[in-house]
Amino acid sequence: MNKIIRLKIVSLLIIGILLLNSVAAGSAQQSALTATPAVVSMPGRQVVLRAEPTDSFFRVEPPPEFSRSGVQSVKTANIVVTYVGAWNASAQAAFQFAADLWETQINSPVTINVRAEWNNLGGSILGAAGPVSVLRDFSGAPVSNTWYPVALANALSGSDLNNGGSDEDGDGSPVDAEIAAEFNSGFSSWYFGTDGSTPSGQYDFVSVVLHELGHGLGFLGSMTVSGGQGSWGLGTGFPLSYDRFAVNGSGQSLINTGLFANPSAALATQLTSNNVFFNGANAVAANGGNVKLYAPGAWSQGSSYAHLDEVFNGTANALMTYSINTAESVHSPGPVTLAMFRDMGWPTSSIVYDEFVYLPVVKNNWPPQLSGSFYSNADAVILQGYPATNFGSTGDMWAGYDDYLNPDGMIVRSLIKFDTSAIPNGSTINSAVLQVYMIASWDYPSRSRTITAYRISSNWAESTVTWNTQPGIAEAYGSAAIVSGAFGWYSFDVTNLVRAWKNGTYSDYGVMLRGPEQSGSDSSWRSFSTREGGYTPKINITYIGASGLSHLEISADGARLPQGAQSIIEALSAGYRLDAVCSADALRVDARCIDAP
């Protein structure tokens, strides 16, 4: 009989920080890990969801297994929640709604216990969660030498590997939790309703809980960056199931130590390349290609790598992106996330009803308003005092006049370019707000200066642009009064500019930020983070998509989808409606249909 080795969890991980308790049990423990396969438990990690204070009015309804009209939800798992802290009844009801929903999406014969704490997390963090432990080489493990989150390990083994009858997680109960979660009691703008009608300025609690439970069930890996070194395996040399599907844009596995040593600066470069993907076969089939993961230019602990990329905002797969907007509700994991779960080993629900197939209808008014955050894909600063030097890879960019550099930078300007091609040309742009983060300034104390965004009228390249080769500058759009030393996010209304890009009036070459450009004793500048810095510039856009279809057409020839939709589910999540719901043989000419709700 294999010896069971457990490392007792002394305390829960502080938000976003890996619990990397030394594996310093030394050579004796290492030989135990590399000998005959054994059941081994180690501390897990928590992943956070961040608040995005911009209304999106985007909504995704629950999946059909949960919300089928007039039929009780079909549950294939059991989730039990223990509430710790001053939870109110409305918050608990919303939490239970999210737990009930996950119970229809995964299959497990073993009860999943969740410890949910209501704490003031501060800042912009809405919640955090992760598996209490990970295990490997248990009976039923799909792949050897691979860590599996404990809830998944239990499901695969068909037994409770987490409870030996003693209080191993230190919470005073002999029943140990599989998932540890925290939610921010310091937010006053929670929406605890379960109908998905999240008001302006409020965060949908159901969506946040659904997201965090996803991390606790296994939507996370062990990759991390610290001190310029990338690493994986929680110090053990064994990957998490999620890690086995991590590749770069060239399809190279990030756990291939022949390419990227563990740890190494080379791996850190990959993890901060904005070029990391998940390539599980199920996920690729659901997405129509490798699934892009969130991997910004600066490692963000608790966010990087453990989320879907921002390209999934405004789609049926928006739940597992790294942030959520106000007035947004996403009550479904989405087909891509569920496919990733299948790749990692989760048995997921696949319910076919006897008579009718119900698809989740999104209750946006037609035409739907969509939203998305579009991040800089090129940015640079140009300095008059260094006219032939390219500054396209720095972590900051300036606007104003520099009397600070030696020699002087003189006039300094920032250039930013965005890829908004996901918004179809001809779309109606309702709002567009450019946001940049000020990280430094040079001025009299508390002095306010106006920074203005201008349209760039000719093309430029981040890696080659200089003062001497700077692109053309056209009319001004939004501006912001920025006080010296008041570091943080600043917004510029560029709605009319984005409208002009999308209606074909102007080509999209980006924007230039300029400040007061006078020299002498009244000179000043403001410095903003680039995509290579810690805060990537972005444009938050709400829009109504352009399409010739206001509904889906399903016939004997299949489904005809609106422009940009890759699947029926995605089209419905974007706000299109079904005129009818048809029987399971909906592709037959004689298929029976009823009016859709």
Q: Which domains does the chain have, with CATH numbers?
A: 5-344 (no CATH), 371-544 (2.60.120), 553-595 (no CATH)
Instruction: Find the mean pLDDT for residues 346-354.
Output: 55
Tokens linked to 151: 């809830």
3-state SS assignment for residue 13: coil
Residue with tokens 């739940």: 319
Residue 308 has pLDDT above 90, yes or no: yes
Q: Return the pLDDT at 171.
A: 54
Specify the DSSP element, H or E, that contains 491. strand 488-493
Q: What percent of the chain has pLDDT over 90?
A: 61
Report pLDDT digits (tens) over 490-540: 999 999 999 999 999 999 999 999 999 988 888 899 999 999 988 999 999
Tokens linked to 371: 């939203």
More confident residue, 481 or 585: 481
Residue 37 has pLDDT above 80, yes or no: no
273 CB-near residues (< 8 Å, 6+ apart): 248, 249, 295, 297
Residue 291 has pLDDT above 50, yes or no: yes
Residue 555 has pLDDT above 70, yes or no: no
Q: Return the pLDDT at 582.
A: 38
Whether the CB-CB separation of 217 and 341 falls below 8 Å is answered with: yes
More confident residue, 63 or 95: 95
Residue 381 has pLDDT above 80, yes or no: yes
Q: Return the pLDDT at 61.
A: 86
Q: Return the pLDDT at 409.
A: 76
DSSP-assigned states of every residue in 83-148: EES---HHHHHHHHHHHHHHTTTB--SS-EEEEEEEE---TTEEEEEEESEEEES-TT-SSSS-BE
Residue 52 has pLDDT above 50, yes or no: yes
Q: Return the pLDDT at 559.
A: 41
Instruction: Find the mean pLDDT for residues 397-401.
Output: 95
Average pLDDT, the chain: 80
3-state SS assignment for residue 470: coil
Q: Which of 165-174, 195-204, 242-251, 558-567 has the lowest mean pLDDT?
A: 558-567
More confident residue, 449 or 35: 449
Report pLDDT digits (tens) over 250-266: 999 999 999 999 999 99
Residue 5 has pLDDT above 50, yes or no: no
Given 3-state DSSP classes, what are the helix, strand and coil percentages for the chain, each rounded to the nearest 5?
15, 30, 50
Residue 562 has pLDDT above 60, yes or no: no
Band of pLDDT at residue 67, cut at 50, 70 and 90: low
Band of pLDDT at residue 181, cut at 50, 70 and 90: very high
Q: Whose CA is closest to 53, among 540, 385, 513, 471?
A: 540
Residue 68 has pLDDT above 90, yes or no: no
Query: From CA 43, how far away is CA 580, in angstroms rounded?
Result: 49
Residue 223 has pLDDT above 50, yes or no: yes
Residue 410 has pLDDT above 70, yes or no: yes
Tokens linked to 17: 């920080």
Q: Return the pLDDT at 342.
A: 95
Whether the CB-CB separation of 177 and 114 falls below 8 Å is answered with: yes
Q: Return the pLDDT at 130.
A: 93
Report pLDDT digits (tens) over 228-238: 999 999 889 99
Q: What percent of the chain has pLDDT over 70?
A: 76
Q: Return the pLDDT at 445.
A: 78
User: pTM, whole model, 2 decimals?
Assistant: 0.59
Query: From CA 279, how far away is CA 256, in angstroms rounded?
Result: 14
